[in-house]
Each structure stands twice: as C-alpha cells, then as structure tokens.
Amino acid sequence: MSDLGPNFSSRPVLRINLKAIKANYKAIQSLVGKTTHVAAAVKADAYGLGAERVGRTLYGAGCRNFFVATAGEGKILRGSIGDNASIYVLNGPAPRDLTLYFGSNLKPVINSLVQARIWAEAASAAKHPPYSAIHIDTGINRLGFPMDELERLSKNKNLQEQLQFDLIMSHLACAPDKDNPANAAQLKAFRMAAAKLPLKPMSLTNTAGTYLGKPYHFQMVRPGIGLYGGISTTDPSQEKITPAVSLMAPVLQVKTLKAGESLGYNATFTATKDTKIAIVGAGYADGIPISASSNSDGYFGHATLQNKRAPILGRVSMDLTALDITHLKKTPRIGDWAEFLGGNLEEDAKSCQTLNYEMLTRLSSRARREYL
C-alpha cells in the first residue's frame, strides 16, 4: 500500500498554536506599554479555539482579566484558570444566572438600569459579592448604558454603592478604520460619560482599537481576534500577529475526473480537462463554509497541500471537500493532511464573503483539538 500515508484518523484536526497565542499577547502588551493591562476576550469558547486551554495559556503570559459573553462561559473558564484573575461577563446579569456569578466569582458587566437593579438586589443580599463593571454605550448602539440611563445612575449614589463597580468600559464601532471620525467621537463621549461616575480604571478598545494610539488605551485594552492570529484593521502592516489556527483534513481518496465529468452536489463543477482530485475529510460541519465552494466564475476557497494551493472544486459537503491536485508534483497519499485557514485566514474569509472572526467561531467540535 504505497499510496497509504502514515498512521492517520479520518477525523479532522484543529491545530492550535498556543505559543503563537502567547506571542500575540506579548506583542500587544509591547504595543500598549506597561502601564496598560492587556485583558483577553475569550468569549465564544475563545473564538472557537477552546477557552480552557487558551485561558490558561494567556494566564501564563500574565493576563489577569478575562471577558466572556455568558455566565456559563465564565464558570468553565474559572475552573481552568483558578481564582487569581477577574472574569467579566459581557452580556450582563440575568436572574437565572446569579448563582453562577456568586459560585464562580464572576463580575457582571452592567449594561443598563434594568441590569443594575437585578445585580444591586442580588449583591445586597450576598456577603462578599463580586465587583462589577459599568458599560457605557458611546455610539455602537449595542449593549451598554445609553446616556439618559447613565445620567440617572450618576445621580443615584445608593445604586452605585450597591453595584461596587471596579471598571468603566465602552466599545468602539469602527476601530478597524483609523481614519473614521467615529473613533475620536466615541473617545470623547467615553471621557465625558465616565466623568459622571466615580474615578475607576477605564477600558475602551478591542484589538483594532489598540492601533489607534495611546489615548485609546486607558488602563486596560481587551483584544480578542489579535490574540488568535487574526488581522483586525485595514492596515495589516502595523500588526505583529502570528497565525495560530489550522484546520487539517486527511486525504481520504484520490481520483481523476475526466473532461466533461461533474463533481459534488448539484454538479456545480464540470471538468474542462482531465483533473486529479483529492477528497478530504472535512466539510462545512467542520467550518469550511459552503461559500468557499467553487462556482462557474472560478475558484473560491482553497487548502494547502505540499506547500501548494489546492483550490476547492464543486460544492463543499457537510463532511467532505474536493480539492484540485492536478498541479501537484506528487500524488498525495491517503492520510496526508490538507491545511485550511492557517496563514490564509483573512484571504479565506474574504473569498467566503465573511470575516476572520466568523471563520474561527464556526469551527466545530468534531475536529480533534491539537495544541502546540
């Protein structure tokens, strides 16, 4: 069986480079300097990469403040990183989640007066309630105190006392684009709004915002995508980011399409000449979007095999993808690996009409996680 590669499984592998994640953390820490703490957004299971392992890695790199979306995510993270770090829950307190907050010492991000009252009531009844954060909406119009509600909070010293917040934060809408005047407008609004509250550490930016310069950093920045090797701004040259994720799919079969033969569902690809293909064991259920399929206008997504591009042919299937390997010098063996994402994350996202963020978060749990 000379066509059979090394000992392999038909299960795809998600290769996650923890050293790269650590290096990306250090790079952002260098960028913002020692007086600004680099927190980490590890919500959505650390953008699909595994919040427990990623959380421990970042803790090892010096991170002591983490952001998750839900209290359930916070509980899992707490179990992994231990007690010596803050975990903030961005989506804010909800009645059914309160036991999670107290049980795992999670800090709720308070986004509204309704959430403030939920938390104030619960915290008043507790002996040592966790601190909280106040999130001010300075223009993204997503979660966060609108200005009128912030006014009411600023006048209600009793409520402020009950909330015991240790951080005032906001979130930028247009940070990837340095020249967008919305950034300066949000910065100004944030300063003015925070001034209505008692003096606390402040935090405004995600990864992209760290590149907007010192005035945006305050006491804490909260990168996510940059830690995971994703480019976040319109000027990649300024970003010292190391790719951290590859989806590896084993070659399951090699065959030759004769000119005129079609391939895959709805026969969306027809060979114009004899074409050698590899069927690899990963599909859209693993995170290779259907939008990476080829169509009559040409190729879209691709994988890397033998350090060469292997374009996707036909429609990506749920568990399988067909690659054009006609141009490779050696026919791949069964069990050889085709690499998706990796250093091509941004290009892949673009060709799939989406963002690197979504390419990461949609990686499924079927692939075996392999941490380097």
Give, as ranges, the residues between 44 and 103 that touch a copy of itself (CB under 8 A): 44-45, 47-48, 69-73, 89-97
Verify binding: residue 326, a copy of itself, rule CB under 8 A.
no
Helix or strand (DSSP H, E) at 159: helix 157-163
Residue 244 · residue 49 · CB < 8 Å: yes
Pairing of strands 245-257, 368-371: unpaired
Is 43 noted as a catalytic residue in this protein? Answer: yes
- Number of residues counted as binding a copy of itself (CB under 8 A): 84
- Ramachandran region of residue 201, left (φ > 0), alpha (ψ -120 to 50) or beta? beta
- How far is CA 358 from each of CA 87, 281, 289, 353, rounded to the nearest angstrom? 23, 21, 10, 10
Give, as ranges, the residues between 9 and 28 that touch a copy of itself (CB under 8 A): 9-11
CB of 169 to a copy of itself, least distance (A): 15
Closest to a copy of itself by CB, 237 or 266 = 266
Q: Per the residue annotation, which of 22, 43, 75, 107 is the catalytic one?
A: 43
Verify binding: residue 118, a copy of itself, rule CB under 8 A.
yes
Give, as ranges, the residues between 331 and 350 that touch a copy of itself (CB under 8 A): 334-335
CB of 365 to a copy of itself, least distance (A): 6
Closest CA to 64 of 188, 166, 164: 166
Closest to a copy of itself by CB, 23 or 106 = 106
Closest to a copy of itself by CB, 86 or 291 = 291
Instruction: Give dist(CA 203, CA 210) in Å, integer.
Output: 11
Letter string b/e over residues 178-199, b meaning 16 or more CB atoms within 10 A of that residue's CB? eebeebeebbebbeebbeebee
Residue 366 · residue 247 · CB < 8 Å: no
**Residue appearing with tokens 């069986």:** 1
Give, as ranges, the residues between 130 and 189 that touch a copy of itself (CB under 8 A): 137, 139-143, 146, 173-174, 176-177, 182
Closest to a copy of itself by CB, 143 or 201 = 143
CB of 52 to a copy of itself, least distance (A): 13
CB of 60 to a copy of itself, least distance (A): 25
CB of 277 to a copy of itself, least distance (A): 7
- How far is CA 6 from each of CA 148, 207, 331, rounded to the nearest angstrom? 64, 40, 15
Radius of gyration of the chain (CA): 24
Give, as ranges, the residues between 184 and 243 that touch a copy of itself (CB under 8 A): none
Candidates 35, 158, 237, 266; binder of a copy of itself (CB under 8 A) is 266
Closest to a copy of itself by CB, 309 or 366 = 366
Q: Per the residue annotation, which of 19, 188, 255, 265 is the catalytic one?
A: 265
Residues identified as active-site = 43, 265
